[in-house]
Amino acid sequence: MPNPVDLKGVVSPLITPFLADAQTVNVEAVAALVEHQVQRGVHALFVAGTTGESMSLDDEQWRRLLQMVTTTVAGRIPVIVGVSMPSTAGAVRRARWAAELGADYVTATIPYYFLPSQQDIVRHYRAIEDATPLPLVVYNIPHLTKINIALATHLELARSSQMVALKDSSGDITALRRLKWALAERGREDIRLFMGTDLMIDAIVMMGAHGVVPSLANLAPHVLVGAWDAAVAGDWPTCWRLLERAALLTRIYQVHPSGAEAGTVSGLKAALAQIGIDCGPPALPTMPLDEAEQNAVKTILQDGGLAI
**Confidence class for position 282, pLDDT limits 50, 70, 90:** very high
> Residue 307 pLDDT more than 70?
no
139 in catalytic set? yes
Distance CA 122, CA 150 (A): 11
298 in catalytic set? no
CATH number, position 56: 3.20.20.70
Residue 85 lies in a domain: yes
Other beta carbons within 10 Å of 227: 28
**Confidence class for position 258, pLDDT limits 50, 70, 90:** confident
Residue range of the domain that includes 165: 4-233
pLDDT in the model for residue 294: 96
From residue 248, alpha-carbon distances to 37, 40, 140, 217, 220 in Å are 20, 20, 27, 14, 12
- The mean of the pLDDT values for the chain is 96
pLDDT in the model for residue 211: 98
> Residue 308 pLDDT more than 60?
no
Find, among 201, 248, 272, 267, the residue nearest to 37 by Cα: 272
Residue 208 lies in a domain: yes
**Confidence class for position 306, pLDDT limits 50, 70, 90:** confident
pLDDT in the model for residue 69: 98
> Residue 146 pLDDT more than 80?
yes
Distance CA 277, CA 107 (A): 27
Choice among 3-7, 47-51, 266-270, 280-284 with the minimum mean pLDDT: 3-7
Residue 16 lies in a domain: yes
Q: Of all residues in the chain, what percent carry a pLDDT higher than 90?
A: 94
Distance CA 64, CA 281 (A): 18
> Residue 112 pLDDT more than 80?
yes
- Read off the pLDDT of residues 15-45 as tens digits, 9 standing for 90 and up: 999 999 999 999 999 999 999 999 999 999 9
The radius of gyration of the chain's CA atoms, rounded to the nearest angstrom, is: 18
Model pTM above 0.85: yes
Residue 138 lies in a domain: yes
Mean pLDDT confidence for 298-303: 96
> Residue 257 pLDDT more than 90?
no
> Residue 170 pLDDT more than 80?
yes
Mean pLDDT confidence for 278-302: 95
- Read off the pLDDT of residues 198-251 as tens digits, 9 standing for 90 and up: 999 999 999 999 999 999 999 999 999 999 999 999 999 999 999 999 999 999
Considering its fold, how many domains does the chain have in total? Answer: 1
Following DSSP, what letter does each residue of the chain receive, concatenated?
Answer: ---GGG--EEEEE----B-TTSSSB-HHHHHHHHHHHHTTT-SEEEESSTTTTGGG--HHHHHHHHHHHHHHHTTSS-EEEE---SSHHHHHHHHHHHTTTT-SEEEE----SSPPPHHHHHHHHHHHHHH-SS-EEEEE-HHHHS-PPPHHHHHHHTTSTTEEEEEE-S--HHHHHHHHHHHHHTT-TTSEEEE--SS-HHHHHHTT--EE--GGGGT-HHHHHHHHHHHHTT-HHHHHHHHHHHHHHGGGGGTSTT-HHHHHHHHHHHHHHHTT----PPSTTSPPP-HHHHHHHHHHHHHTT---
Residue 247 lies in a domain: no
Residue 177 lies in a domain: yes
Q: Which residue of the set 105, 125, 167, 269 is catalytic?
A: 167
- Read off the pLDDT of residues 62-108 as tens digits, 9 standing for 90 and up: 999 999 999 999 999 999 999 999 999 999 999 999 999 999 999 99
Q: Which residue of the set 139, 180, 253, 269 is catalytic?
A: 139
Residue 117 lies in a domain: yes
Mean pLDDT confidence for 160-170: 98
> Residue 151 pLDDT more than 60?
yes
From residue 284, alpha-carbon distances to 24, 47, 90, 259, 280 in Å are 11, 19, 21, 16, 12
Residue 249 lies in a domain: no
- Read off the pLDDT of residues 115-136 as tens digits, 9 standing for 90 and up: 999 999 999 999 999 999 999 9
